[in-house]
Amino acid sequence: MEIHGPKLLGTSYKDPIASFNLFRDFTVQNPEVYWSIILKELSVIFRESPKCILDTADKSKPGGTWLPGSVLNLAECCLLPSAHPRKEDNSCAIVWRDEGNDDSNVNRMTLKELREQVMLVANALDATFEKGDAIAIDMPMTVNAVIIYLAIVLAGFVVVSIADSFAAKEIATRLRVSKAKAVFTQDFILRGGRKFPLYSRVAEASPYKVIVLPVSGNDVGIQLREQDLSWKDFLSCVNHRPRPYHYTPTYLPIDSAINILFSSGTTGEPKAIPWTQLSPIRCSSDAWAHINIGVGDVYCWPTNLGWVMGPILLFSCFLTGATLALYHGSPLGRGFGKFVQDAGVTVLGTVPSLVKAWKNTKCMEGLDWTKIKSFASTGEASNVDDDLWLSSKSYYKPIIECCGGTELASSYIQGSPLQPQAFGAFSTASMTTGLVILDEHGNAYPDDKPCVGEVGLFPLYLGATDRLLNADHGEVYFKGMPTYNGMPLRRHGDILKRTVGGYFVVQGRADDTMNLGGIKV
């Protein structure tokens, strides 16, 4: 804002804090200007540059066509060094620790080491699969899971995201809908010192090849089926090659699918939501603009690649030059808190039920979390008292609330460090996001009026889906929504309250959904 504010806003520009709302409104009216600036702040490298930022000529696409003509590989963008943001081969890309090793040093992996591991796996994928195949990941978000995710994208395959908590029937549904050809999983899950079976659930769900990583050591601790492979055997097929750690990425148009994610399956079959190469640009730019993630940050958020927060966290680190912090184990206990301290985490993401558990069990007493410059929260409505306790752990730093959707690849309302933050509330719509709150007749309330109603999103939204694999996109997101200033509004389904001070509070869903403990029922 200091660099571009005076030029873009003219004499009405004062400073980043006083002019924040003015600037944000400008980004809604002029998304092309905003995105051309932001693309230079992320390590996005085009193989073929876009013809323009936004093309609205095709009237059958209410969301427009973003960065048309551009070709790239977003996994490569994550792995290459860059001058701005400053990412070097010896920069720390990932910091992690295994549960139970709480008194040992944290493990670190440089950008170069990460790149070589990803390229090794990409070579092994090429030896096993056909380009464009969908390949599932169903395991905890470990260093190896992140390597596999990036390798699948680097090699021009499509990741299928499946949460490691699902029963075999749920796994089978997602594999069927996505037409996945194989699954990467672990033999067991270690949680709080206990072993839970994972491979057996995946094997029950998948008739296809399952590639099994050991939860600890080098060998899987379970008998595999004939068609399945251990991680060691999977990698051994490329070890004899002259340059197993070198790989030429597959470059694809920007609207190519790289990841199939799933909605929570509220009614019947879960919606299969394809992320394109636009999606990581959106989520990492939001992390940069709203959570102030960048070079020098250590970003930690206990999650899974099966939920949208997993890919968001991964790209938000590697496209901004931040370090990804992973704890291989349960985030509920003191071991996780000690990892946050020892890894020097600067931004800690949470879900409210986790914060409540930490507060009630007093398990984090005596730990030093003062390197944390801000917290972030999503998944369910926050509790103000729990938030106050969390904030106190680092000199009352703000908690940036995030609310969005898998199909938006981001948050449509969020907090911002350039505004006063209120616990359990959102201070702003996200950058470039236009929204209105609708009354029961489908008419928009004035923007400055306190109100409660269903939210309608402006359709021009970089990173939002324009297709679903197993449902009619237009029917799900546009049918029956009113128009506003000639634009068809996009459905999100949240009931929003705008307060007297202009803050937002989410009051639940507009459809017949109940949210029990963060799981939609």
Integer angstrom CA distances of residue 92 from 14, 89, 183, 303: 37, 8, 29, 21
DSSP code of residue 82? B
Q: Rounded to an integer, what distance in angstroms lies between the CA atom of residue 358 and that of residue 195?
A: 22
Strand-pairing partners, residue 483, are 488
pLDDT digits (tens, 9 = 90+) for 133-179: 999 999 999 999 999 999 999 999 999 999 999 999 999 999 999 99
Q: Rounded to an integer, what distance in angstroms lies between the CA atom of residue 341 and that of residue 4?
A: 37
Tokens 């990412």 -> residue: 87
Closest of 66, 70, 88, 71 to residue 79, by C-alpha: 88
Give backbone dihedrals phi and psi of 471, rounded to 5 degrees, phi first. -155, 165
Q: Rounded to an integer, what distance in angstroms lies between the CA atom of residue 413 and that of residue 427?
A: 8
DSSP code of residue 407? G
Over residues 95-117, the mean pLDDT reads 97
The answer on pLDDT for 183 being more than 80 is yes
Q: Where are the domains of the chain?
A: 110-252
pLDDT digits (tens, 9 = 90+) for 342-355: 999 999 999 999 99
pLDDT digits (tens, 9 = 90+) for 306-350: 999 999 999 999 999 999 999 999 999 999 999 999 999 999 999
Confidence of residue 519 (pLDDT cuts 50, 70, 90): low
| Contact by Cβ (8 Å): 157, 143 | no
Counting every residue, how long is the chain?
521
Q: Rounded to an integer, what distance in angstroms lies between the CA atom of residue 240 and that of residue 265?
A: 44
What is the β-pairing status of strands 298-300 and 272-276?
Answer: unpaired
Confidence of residue 512 (pLDDT cuts 50, 70, 90): low
DSSP string, 17-81: TTTHHHHHHHHHH-HHHHHHHHTTTTT---SB--S-SEE---TT-TT-EESTT-EE-HHHHHHS-
Average pLDDT, the chain: 95
Over residues 186-190, the mean pLDDT reads 95
What is the β-pairing status of strands 410-414 and 428-429?
Answer: antiparallel
Give the CATH architecture of domain 110-252.
Answer: 3-Layer(aba) Sandwich (3.40)
What is the β-pairing status of strands 54-55 and 65-66?
Answer: antiparallel
| Contact by Cβ (8 Å): 277, 255 | yes
DSSP string, 410-462: EEEEE--TTS---TT-B-EEPTT--EEEE-TTSPBPPTTS-EEEEEEE-S--T
- More confidently predicted of 171 and 516: 171
Strand-pairing partners, residue 444, are 438
Long-range pairs of 399-405 with CB within 8 A, sequence gap ≥ 24: 399/374, 399/375, 399/423, 400/290, 400/291, 400/374, 400/375, 400/376, 401/376, 401/377, 401/425, 401/426, 402/290, 402/291, 402/376, 402/377, 402/378, 403/378, 403/494, 403/506, 404/378, 404/430, 405/308, 405/492
